[in-house]
Amino acid sequence: MAQNKNIAVVLSGCGVYDGSEISEAVLTLLHISRAKAEAACLAPNIPQRDVTNHLAGGRCEGEIRNVLVEAARIARGKIKDIAHADPQDYHAAIFPGGYGAAKNLSNFASLGAKCEVQPAVHKFITSMHAAGKPLGFICISPALAARALGEFKPLLTIGNDATTAQTLTELGATHISSAVDEICIDETNKIVSTPAYMIEGAQLADISLGIEKLVKAVIKLIPKNGK
């Protein structure tokens, strides 16, 4: 069933504190491959909100990096500007987490319930949803779905963090508390989410299980007649 399915993986940079969470991104790519589907990486061609020193902590003052260029590190250079991506080319899309989802793909990190999704990312999400194509959201990235698709009252999980869950509720979503290796499936909206590193102390093996379940559930939601 998964053969020849083309899954967009939307990245937000490279590094947990200012871009994509690398383990989540790589696990997403791994489990797409294991499902015999094809991953196609996308990212917005925009400056990062900030640059973090992942060794020492804190911002790299005065340093500017590009989200698409940094995300290309994970994609081994095979990546496309999401502004030029046609939703018709993909059967589904998955969004790994990391602070980049809340800083670069949106401004959720700074504005919470008053946030906006980056325009090209917003258009891609709403276009995929309007076409009935499944969407997967990992870690903090369900905030993107809550903001872009709040009018459709999506069922989402970010784990068990009460404050973040309340913010998603304010955006229109219904939050479902979940363990690290569990997924939340919204059959109506064809949205699947899993908490990953939003669960404090989460172990990589358990995160992998959750992402594997998410990938399989997203692929299962693809209509049998394709796009």
For residues 39 and 28, the answer to whether their CB atoms sit within 8 Å is yes
Q: Which of 14, 41, 139, 184 is an active site residue?
A: 139
Distance CA(227)–CA(11), nearest Å, equals 22
Question: What 3-state class would DSSP assign to 6?
Answer: strand
Beta strands 191-194 and 184-186 are antiparallel
Residue partners of 69: CB distance under 8 A and separation at least 6: none
Let me know the angle formed at the C-alpha of 159 by 153 and 163, rounded to the nearest 5 degrees.
Answer: 75
Q: Is 41 a catalytic residue?
A: no
Residues annotated as catalytic are 139
